[in-house]
Structure 1
């Protein structure tokens, strides 16, 4: 039976090209590569959204926070895995959030997922994979928007790891195999999408082997 994997994230999940500002094609972005890596027994649901946050709704961008947009996917699909890749946009200076407060937003999102499935007598809760936000390099392009975010991002990864452990979720540290020193300092370049897809593929395959 085909397994459904929901990739729920921000612009790095959507596949924003840091050079052109447009979307990488299906041969480049990590979500599409994940589908190719895992094969026909898996359906990858690409649910990336630029500017999506865990805590606040970005001004002028409508309701983009995670809790508001996740439920429709849970209602529509029978999901086996949810990969949550959020947190970077919460580091923007205007939100003035500490890593602990952002991690609280992640905890709330996970609790919302658990609560949704606890109310159902027929649906089985999916396995949740938390991806840490990548480290940030402050470039001229985003220097005012993400001022101080490079320091917070390192602590945020540690906080997310703790939230994952406390909620018995799986955790993958994107900082272990990616960097954003090139491009705009925020978004993955094409080679990093390839690496992320490979590492997440490995994790999913390992989890499927675990009884």
Structure 2
């Protein structure tokens, strides 16, 4: 049976190209590369949304918080893996959130997933992979929006790792192999998408081998 992987994240999951302002194509996005790497035994559900958060809804953008928008995907699909790649937008200055509070939002999201499958679904709860976003490089373009976010991002990685361990989720730290040095300091380039696709492929395969 084909296994479904839900990639639930923000603009870096959606595949925003900071140079063009458009979306990277299916030969570049890490979600699409994941599908190619895993081949026909897996179906990838690309659920990236620019500005999506873990805690608060961004002004003017409606229901983009993770908790409020994940349920429709769970209702529509039989999910075997959920990759949660969020947290960057929560670092914006206007939200005034500490890494600990953002990590609490991640914990709430994981609990919501477990509650959904325990209370109202006959399906088995999916494996969850937590991806910690890479450290932000503050550029002139985002200097006001992401003030001090580069400092918080390092703490956020550690907090996310603890949440993943406490909930028995797999964890991948983008900081360990990605360094955003070009572009706007926030979004992945094509080389970074390639690296992420490869690393998450390994993580999914290892999870299957150990199950």
Q: Give TM-score scaled by structure 1 length.
A: 0.99
Q: Which residue of 1 aligns with 2:40?
A: 40
The secondary structure found in structure 2 opposite 1:147 is coil
Instruction: Return the alpha-carbon distance in structure 2 between the equivalents of residues 189 and 145 of structure 1.
Output: 21
Matched, 1:95 2:95: yes
Q: Which residue of 1 aligns with 2:169?
A: 169
Post-superposition offset of 1:21: 1.1
The secondary structure found in structure 2 opposite 1:40 is helix
Q: Which residue of 2 aligns with 1:135?
A: 135
- State how 1:58-97 maps to structure 2 within 5 Å: 58-97=58-97
Q: After the TM superposition, which parts of structure 1 deviate over 4 Å for at least 4 consecutive aligned residues?
A: none
Aligned residue pairs total: 211
Post-superposition offset of 1:121: 5.4
Instruction: Return the alpha-carbon distance in structure 2 between the equivalents of residues 120 and 86 of structure 1.
Output: 25
Post-superposition offset of 1:181: 1.2
Provide structure 2 residue ranges, at least 5 long, that are not aligned to the other structure. Answer: none
The secondary structure found in structure 1 opposite 2:123 is coil
Q: Give TM-score scaled by structure 2 length.
A: 0.99
Q: Which residue of 2 aligns with 1:29?
A: 29
Post-superposition offset of 1:63: 1.1
Q: Which residue of 1 aligns with 2:179?
A: 179
Instruction: Return the alpha-carbon distance in structure 1 between the equivalents of residues 121 and 84 of structure 2.
Output: 24
Q: Which residue of 1 aligns with 2:188?
A: 188
Provide structure 1 residue ranges, at least 5 long, that are not aligned to the other structure. Answer: none
CA RMSD in angstroms comes to: 0.7
Instruction: Return the alpha-carbon distance in structure 1 between the equivalents of residues 28 and 121 of structure 2.
Output: 39
The secondary structure found in structure 2 opposite 1:39 is helix
Post-superposition offset of 1:120: 3.5
Superposed CA deviations along residues 163-198 of structure 1, whole A, max 9, x for unmatched, are: 000111110111111111111000000000000000
**Change in CA separation of 1:37 and 1:123 when aligned onto 2, cut-off 3 Å:** same
Matched, 1:20 2:17: no
**Change in CA separation of 1:59 and 1:204 when aligned onto 2, cut-off 3 Å:** same
Q: Which residue of 1 aligns with 2:156?
A: 156
The secondary structure found in structure 1 opposite 2:40 is coil
Q: Which residue of 2 aligns with 1:4?
A: 4
**Change in CA separation of 1:112 and 1:18 when aligned onto 2, cut-off 3 Å:** same
Instruction: Return the alpha-carbon distance in structure 2 between the equivalents of residues 34 and 67 of structure 1.
Output: 24
